[in-house]
Amino acid sequence: MLSDSGGAAHDIRAYCDSPKDNKKLPDASSGRSQRYIEAAAELLPHIEWFGLHRRSNGHVRSETSGTEPLKMLSFFSAEKEQDFDSAVQQALPK
C-alpha cells in the first residue's frame, strides 16, 4: 500500500503503525466527515487483522506450522523509496 498517497491509505498506515493500546483513528481535525470517521473506527481493526496476520488460502496460518508466512498488507512510501519501480514490485504478492 502506498501510504503517502493520502486518504484512506494514510489512515490505514497510521492505525496499523500505532501502539496496540493507543490506536490512531482519524478525527474531525483530519478533515474527514463524521460518516468516514465512524466507518474507519469500525473497519480499521478488521483491515489490520486481515492484512497483517499470517494468512494462506484465506485462513490464518498457525504460528507453529513452520510454513512461510504471507503478509497480505505492506506499506511503502514513494517519497522515501530510491527506486519506486522496485518498491512496487516488492509490494506485490509473489
Number of domains into which the chain is organized: 1
Q: Is 13 helix (H, G, I), strand (E, B) or coil?
A: helix
pLDDT of residue 50: 79
Q: Write the CB contacts of 27 (distance below 8 Å, at least 6 apart in sequence).
A: 37
Mean pLDDT of 14-30: 89
- Give me the domain span that covers residue 35: 3-91
Nearest alpha carbon to residue 66 among 56, 57, 75, 58: 56
- Per-residue pLDDT band at 76 (split at 50, 70, 90): low
Enter the C-alpha cell of residue 19.
Answer: 501502539
Q: Which residue has the higher pLDDT, 34 or 92?
A: 34
